């Protein structure tokens, strides 16, 4: 297989991006619980501690608030820390540092400082982690001015977006759905960048637009293939970037297809689907709509431990197909 078409897993693509950044810039270092000898909770950092040493790949104590504070402080001194939370749920212990410090310091100090810190957050359900290890809290952070928030769905995107995030002068949160770590896709060698403010058109269609991100973008693509067999041509927009949202891509697609379905794993109420719906309702695309906007989100409940209930609590491919079918036939 040629180098430009080689395949890596999502986890390997992340590790390669981290290695490139560590080798290229001595200011870059990694922090997190068990990321060193153990290789990370999901084995993403792997052998990086052997390659770059314990001063560049640092195991931290079990204190998310304290360690995140160290990362923010290091960024203020000109270093470029990449902090890995074992689970995105654990970032709730560090909200003070992420939301009140990292996101606000450049504004509060009149632009005199930057906070070039990256927070990596394994997110989502599907591995039986239950209520405290399976949440999708992207909307919490996307609500905060001063943060950039991304959730790549492919190995290509996660490598390019992570490299862009590390180079960015401001704090970036990179959500990584846990079910994606073993998925494979083409990844070029070397350093390349994917913009932190652009969605990706994954599939062109004419009958309705499905806007999704992370694992839901892949499920939306699978659903679109099933729908195509029924004569429903769905366009799939992979957001990738949750803050800022790519307004132009969303509006242009809805103007073309005249129908919108938003799909996300987080709890439906006050989720990203509501913001996307409002964005369209407040835009020129509103006059093009031929049906009400439809949101498909997670259940109004904590994520259950039971595998059957866990699956039922989040949108699956068959749920996306059913919702799109209703929307396309005017029964939303």
Active site (annotated) includes residue 133 = yes
Handedness of CA 59, 61, 62, 66 (dihedral sign): negative
pLDDT of residue 2: 45
Residue 302 pLDDT > 80, yes or no?
yes
With a pLDDT cut of 70, the percent of the chain lying above it is 98
Helix (H, G, I), strand (E, B) or coil at 135: coil
Active site (annotated) includes residue 64 = yes
Domains and CATH numbers, the chain: 3-186 (3.40.50.970), 200-328 (3.40.50.920)
Residue 332 pLDDT > 50, yes or no?
yes
In the chain, DSSP assigns E strands to: 7-9, 28-32, 57-59, 80-84, 118-123, 148-150, 172-177, 184-186, 200-203, 208-212, 234-238, 241-243, 260-267, 294-298
Of 171, 78, 46, 52, the closest CA to residue 120 belongs to 171
Spatial distance between the Cα atoms of 41 and 38, rounded to a whole number of angstroms: 8
H helices present in 60-203, as ranges: 64-76, 95, 105-108, 138-142, 155-167
Helix (H, G, I), strand (E, B) or coil at 63: coil
> 319 — phi, psi (to 5°)?
-70, -40
pLDDT in tens, 61-88: 999 999 999 999 999 999 999 999 999 9
pLDDT of residue 5: 75
Residue 270 pLDDT > 80, yes or no?
yes
pLDDT in tens, 231-267: 999 999 999 999 999 999 999 999 999 999 999 999 9
Cβ 43 vs Cβ 15: under 8 Å: no
pLDDT of residue 330: 78
pLDDT in tens, 117-159: 999 999 999 999 999 999 999 999 999 999 999 999 999 999 9
The one catalytic residue in 12, 16, 133, 151 is: 133
């Amino acid at each position: 297989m040629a180098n430009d078409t080689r395949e890596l897993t999502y986890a390997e693509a992340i590790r390669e991006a981290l290695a490139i950044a560590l080798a290229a810039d001595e200011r870059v270092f990694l922090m997190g619980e068990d990321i060193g000898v153990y290789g990370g909770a999901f084995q993403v950092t792997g052998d990086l501690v052997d390659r770059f040493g314990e001063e560049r790949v640092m195991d931290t104590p079990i204190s998310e608030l304290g360690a995140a504070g160290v990362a923010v402080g290091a960024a203020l001194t000109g270093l470029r820390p990449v902090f890995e939370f074992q689970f995105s749920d654990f970032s709730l212990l560090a909200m003070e540092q992420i939301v009140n410090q990292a996101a606000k310091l450049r504004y509060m100090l009149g632009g005199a400082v930057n906070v070039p810190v990256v927070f990596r957050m394994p997110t989502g359900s599907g591995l039986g982690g239950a209520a405290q290890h399976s949440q999708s809290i992207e909307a919490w952070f996307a609500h905060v001015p001063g943060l950039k928030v991304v959730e790549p769905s492919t190995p290509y995107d996660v490598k390019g977006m992570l490299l862009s995030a590390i180079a960015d002068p401001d704090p970036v949160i990179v959500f990584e759905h846990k079910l994606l770590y073993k998925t494979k896709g083409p990844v070029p060698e070397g350093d390349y960048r994917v913009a932190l403010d652009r969605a990706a058109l994954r599939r062109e269609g004419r009958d309705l637009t499905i806007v999704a991100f992370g694992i839901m973008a892949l499920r939306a693509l699978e659903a679109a293939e099933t729908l195509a067999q029924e004569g429903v041509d769905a366009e799939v927009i992979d957001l990738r970037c949750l803050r800022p949202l790519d307004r132009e891509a969303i509006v242009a697609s809805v103007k073309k297809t005249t129908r919108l379905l938003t799909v996300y794993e987080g709890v439906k109420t006050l989720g990203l689907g509501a913001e996307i719906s409002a964005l369209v309702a407040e835009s020129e695309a509103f006059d093009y709509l031929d049906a009400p906007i439809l949101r498909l989100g997670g259940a109004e409940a904590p994520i259950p431990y039971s595998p059957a209930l866990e699956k039922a609590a989040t949108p699956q491919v068959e749920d996306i197909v059913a919702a799109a079918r209703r929307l396309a036939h005017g029964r939303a």
